[in-house]
Amino acid sequence: METFEIESVKSGLEVLQSKKIEYQQLVEKHKGVTVEGVTDKEGYEAAKNAWRELQHERISVEKQAKALRAYVKPLQETISQGEKELLSILCPEEDRLYKAWKEVDEEKQRAKEEAERIHREMIAKRKAALIDLGMIFDGVVYRFPGNHHESTYRCISDESIEVLCDEVFDDFLKECKEKAEAIAFEAEMERKKQEQEAARLKAEQEAMEEQKRQMEAQAEALRKQKEAQEAEIARQKAEIERMQREAEEAKKQAEQAAKKAKEEIRTRRLASIGLLFNGDVFVFKNRVYGLSITPEQAFLSTDDTFETIVFDYSEKIEKAKAEQATLEAQEKAEIEEKARKEAQEEADRKEKAYQEAKAAEEAAAKAKEEEEKRRQAEKEAMRPESEKMLSLIEAINEASTVPTGTFKSEKMAGIYAFYRTRLLSLGVEIKEKLAQHE
């Protein structure tokens, strides 16, 4: 660190140290500053000014300490200690003075909010009092409804409700009460007038109704007399009509009985030739023809026409039956011929299958015989070579037999034992293959 910087730090520390007594005196100077409630304006201003002075000095100390810390880190602890010492002198008094004037501000704010709340409640009560008198708000002012005279003079706006003093508003409310009572009196007089008019109209209505009842009684007597005459006429008319209906019903029943008997006879007649009723028409149907006649043809035609129908359909049905019998005979012959052909085809198929099975059996026997011959040939071809191989293996085995202890090392003895074992195994395999071919 350069000498100039050290000297600057020392100088700055001396400045800070020199402020200690000054700040103590400043704190002592303001300790007597107090605020005695919201009404103490002088105390309030003194506390606020003293707080600003202490705040200014505190900020100055912090700035100087920050500037010194920037010069050298090793001196930071000493600088911080000096800063803390000076701040411990200034901050408590600064906080006390801040609290003193801040409490006054907060108390003023609470008083203001309370005044606003009381004002809102006063406005609400005033509006409620006007509405209780029967006044309405038309969007501009509170006034009495309807077309009462002087109603325009008994009105008040929202703005007036808020700004009028209690005395003026109470006078206005008193006038409105008098007006409301006058309106109520007028309404009561109008109600009594309407009741009297209603009583007069009711009396006139009752008189008219009594006259109407008398006229209705006379009309009722005439109506009953007329009804009695009309009832007698209606009874006589109904008796005549009943007798006519009974005669018509008897005629109708006779006609229906005759019609039913005719239909039953004709139904049986049609059934006798083969035409049966299916619920819609009379029908005859076989594999050759389909014949039918409608109920109208069967039941509504004259006797001559019906007999002609029966005769014509009898010939048609007999012809259809004969043609069906011929057709059935032809079909029977065709079925028998088809059965005969199928039987012949089945016999031919079985003979062919038998011949094929026999040929397959002979071919299998021949293939088996040829396979046996081939195996015998292979066996005969292999025997000399196999016997030679066995002889060679036995000779090698006898020649390679070495007494125990011949080999100088166990490794050589192991190799000898391995190859001798393989040679014996090869001889066994050759013998097994020869046995299989036999």
Please tell me the distance from the alpha carbon of residue 264 to that of residue 261, in angstroms, as a whole number: 5
Reference 270, options 309, 322, 315, 324; nearest CA is 309
pTM (two decimals): 0.30
Token pair for 256: 């229906």
Token pair for 88: 């411990």
- Contacts (Cβ under 8 Å, ≥6 apart) of 133: 173, 176, 177, 180
DSSP line for 263-322 = HHHHHHHHHHTT-EE-SSSEEEE-SS-EEEE-HHHHHTS-HHHHHHHHHHHHHHHHHHHH
> How many other C-beta atoms are found inside a 10 Å radius of the C-beta of residue 50?
24
CB 255 within 8 A of CB 283: no
CB 172 within 8 A of CB 161: no
* CA distances (Å), origin 338, targets 22, 96, 246, 335: 146, 134, 73, 5
Q: Could you tell me how far CA 287 lies from the centroid of its own chain?
A: 64
Instruction: Classify burial at 309, counting beta carbons within 10 Å of its beta carbon; exposed 0-12, middle 13-18, buried 19 or more.
Output: buried
Q: What angle do CA 265, 266, 270 make, to 5 degrees?
A: 120
pLDDT in tens, the chain (438 residues): 445 556 666 777 777 778 888 888 888 888 888 888 888 889 899 899 989 998 998 998 888 888 777 776 666 677 778 888 888 888 888 888 888 888 888 888 888 888 889 888 988 998 888 888 888 888 888 888 865 444 445 788 888 888 888 888 888 888 888 888 888 788 788 888 888 888 888 888 888 888 888 888 888 888 888 888 888 888 888 888 888 888 888 888 888 888 888 888 988 888 888 888 888 888 877 766 677 888 888 788 888 888 888 888 888 888 888 888 888 888 888 888 888 888 888 888 888 888 888 888 888 888 888 888 877 776 666 555 656 666 666 666 665 566 656 666 776 777 777 777 777 777 777 777 666 655
Helix and strand totals (H; E) in the chain:
8, 6
**pLDDT in the model for residue 390:** 64
Token look-up 């060679």 returns 392
**pLDDT in the model for residue 1:** 44
**pLDDT in the model for residue 76:** 67
Please tell me the distance from the alpha carbon of residue 22 to that of residue 66, in angstroms, as a whole number: 20
Reference 77, options 67, 89, 69; nearest CA is 69
Radius of gyration of the chain (CA): 72
**pLDDT in the model for residue 49:** 92
Please tell me the distance from the alpha carbon of residue 356 to that of residue 99, in angstroms, as a whole number: 129
Please tell me the distance from the alpha carbon of residue 97 to that of residue 352, in angstroms, as a whole number: 135
**pLDDT in the model for residue 271:** 86
Q: Give me the phi and psi of 170, to 5 degrees please.
A: -65, -40
Sort strands 141-143 and 136-137 into parallel, antiparallel or unpaired: antiparallel
Q: Letter for the amino acid at 57?
A: E
Please tell me the distance from the alpha carbon of residue 386 to that of residue 427, in angstroms, as a whole number: 10
Please tell me the distance from the alpha carbon of residue 263 to that of residue 269, in angstroms, as a whole number: 10
Q: What angle do CA 30, 32, 37 make, to 5 degrees?
A: 110
Please tell me the distance from the alpha carbon of residue 50 to that of residue 26, in angstroms, as a whole number: 9
CB 155 within 8 A of CB 176: no
> Is the torsion defined by CA of 140, 141, 145, 150 positive or negative?
negative
- The torsion region of residue 120 among left (phi > 0), alpha (psi -120 to 50) and beta comes to alpha
**pLDDT in the model for residue 59:** 92
- Contacts (Cβ under 8 Å, ≥6 apart) of 89: 20, 23, 24, 27
